Amino acid sequence: MEGKPFIIPIFIAHLGCPHRCIYCDQGRIAHPASAIPTPEEIAEEVERYLKLGARKRKHLRTVQAAFYGGSFTALPLETQRGFLRSLAPFLEEGKVHSLRISTRPDYCSPECLAILKQHKVATIELGVQSMDDEILRTSQRGYTKEEVKEAVRELHQGNFEVGIQLMIGLPGDDAQTFASTVAEVIELRPHFVRLYPTVVIQGTQLEQWFRVGRYHPLTLAEAIILAKGALQRFRQARIPVIRIGLQPTPSLEAPGAIVAGPYPPAFRQLVESTLLYEQAASIVDGSGIERGGSLTFLISPQDISNFYGQGGQNIRRLRESFGLRDIAVKPDPQQERGTVSLCS
């Protein structure tokens, strides 16, 4: 059971959230708002995904059921226990191997963590968003960066897999403060990170600020630059970035749902494609090749599409910028992902 786990998502949108952050309409971001799922509904959803996984031959992978959308540990303890107990039969039968929850840094008490450990919760994602106290205050997050650090320490001590979610372009954030956030998160040594660009969603306080000129969202180019820099630094620190960009949902993509901000469906591809182009351009620039020459690049097979870029734009740019006659791309399983080299 190696590789990435097969995730079974269970949505509890808004449940447990003690604050409404200025950017949040979680019913659109995560899943349409609904009543609290019953144990029967949770079991039905798990069975449905298990059948889907078996059809796709994913039953050989580790299976993890994940509660998404709310702040799980901010729920009443009995509600938490009820959700967790609903999955106990699947864990006992070995159909599901572990659980994952999302929560806030200020709701990681020893009592909650003990309950989670008892019920085979292995992964805890913290919605950190920023490590700057002023940005957290402006965004109405309700905690400080010191509380984030303490929560991560508690999770590491409890031997949980720790994920951290960050947002790019929050009110008051800039390249310098975001770089500081990335540096402080690297010091915390999470097992993985998610990066989300801030978008203005209809019906939020951030939309009101945008309408009156109090908030100016990042352009797509600005968001790519910041995400690219963060991705590079997390890779250098050997911390996987498992997602870049919001997960498209029907409600989020409904007409008028997103008022402003960088929301391309293939945001990660744009970021990784830009990184690969810059590496390739640097290599060509230092190669001493004359105009009209030809080059062959070695690329990880998983990076081929990103290296070409949308519509092959990276290849065109390289040809035009350096006057190359021909550019070939050779898949090389030995090439590290996210890197480029020349074929000798």
CATH assignment at residue 58:
3.20.20.70
Predicted local confidence at residue 262, as pLDDT: 95
Residues 337, 261 share a domain: no
Predicted local confidence at residue 32, as pLDDT: 47
Residues 146, 43 share a domain: yes
Q: Is 177 inside any structural domain?
A: yes
Each of the 344 residues of the chain gets a pLDDT tens digit; together they read 356 889 999 988 766 566 678 888 755 444 444 567 888 899 999 999 998 887 765 556 789 999 987 789 998 888 899 999 999 999 999 999 999 999 999 999 999 999 999 999 999 999 999 999 999 999 999 999 999 999 999 999 999 999 999 999 999 999 999 999 999 999 999 999 999 999 999 999 999 999 999 999 999 999 999 999 999 999 999 999 999 998 887 778 888 899 999 998 899 999 999 999 999 999 999 888 888 889 999 999 999 999 999 899 999 999 999 999 999 999 999 999 999 999 87
Residues 80, 139 share a domain: yes
Degrees to nearest 5, angle at CA 323 with 322 and 328: 85
Last residue of some domain: 211, 235, 265? Answer: 265
pTM of the prediction?
0.90
Total structural domains within the chain: 2
Last residue of some domain: 236, 265, 294? Answer: 265
Q: Is 202 inside any structural domain?
A: yes
Residues 216, 142 share a domain: yes
Residues 149, 111 share a domain: yes
Residues 6+ positions from 232 with CB-CB distance below 8 Å = 275
Residues 98, 23 share a domain: yes
Q: Is 156 inside any structural domain?
A: yes
Q: Is 161 inside any structural domain?
A: yes
The three state secondary structure string of the chain is: CCCCCEEEEEECCCCCCCCCCCCCCHHHHCCCCCCCCCHHHHHHHHHHHHHHHHHCCCCCCCEEEEEECCCHHHCCHHHHHHHHHHCHHHHHCCCCCEEEEEECCCCCCHHHHHHHHHCCEEEEEEEEECCCHHHHHHCCCCCCHHHHHHHHHHHHHCCCEEEEEEEECCCCCCHHHHHHHHHHHHHHCCCEEEEEECCEECCCHHHHHHHCCCCCCCCHHHHHHHHHHHHHHHHHCCCCEEEECCCCCCCCCCCCCEEECCCCCCHHHHHHHHHHHHHHHHHHHHHCCCCCCEEEEEECHHHHHHHHCHHHHHHHHHHHHHCCCEEEEEECCCCCCCCEEECC
Predicted local confidence at residue 209, as pLDDT: 97
Are 153 and 131 spatial neighbours (Cβ–Cβ below 8 Å)? no
Residues 296, 206 share a domain: no
Residues 276, 203 share a domain: no
Are 322 and 289 spatial neighbours (Cβ–Cβ below 8 Å)? yes
Alpha carbon distance 314, 337 (integer Å):
17
Last residue of some domain: 265, 291, 310? Answer: 265
Residues 287, 205 share a domain: no
Domain housing 216: 6-265
CATH, residue 284: 3.40.1260.20
Q: Is 1 inside any structural domain?
A: no
Q: Is 337 inside any structural domain?
A: yes
Are 65 and 10 spatial neighbours (Cβ–Cβ below 8 Å)? yes
Residues 281, 145 share a domain: no
Q: Is 247 inside any structural domain?
A: yes
Q: Is 113 inside any structural domain?
A: yes
Predicted local confidence at residue 19, as pLDDT: 65
Other CB atoms within 10 A of residue 198 CB = 25
Q: Given the DSSP bridges, would you call strands 340-342 and 294-299 parallel, antiparallel or unpaired?
A: antiparallel
Residues 309, 188 share a domain: no
Please choose, from the candidates 192, 342, 339, the residue with its C-alpha nearest in 3D space to the C-alpha of residue 275. Answer: 339
Residues 254, 288 share a domain: no
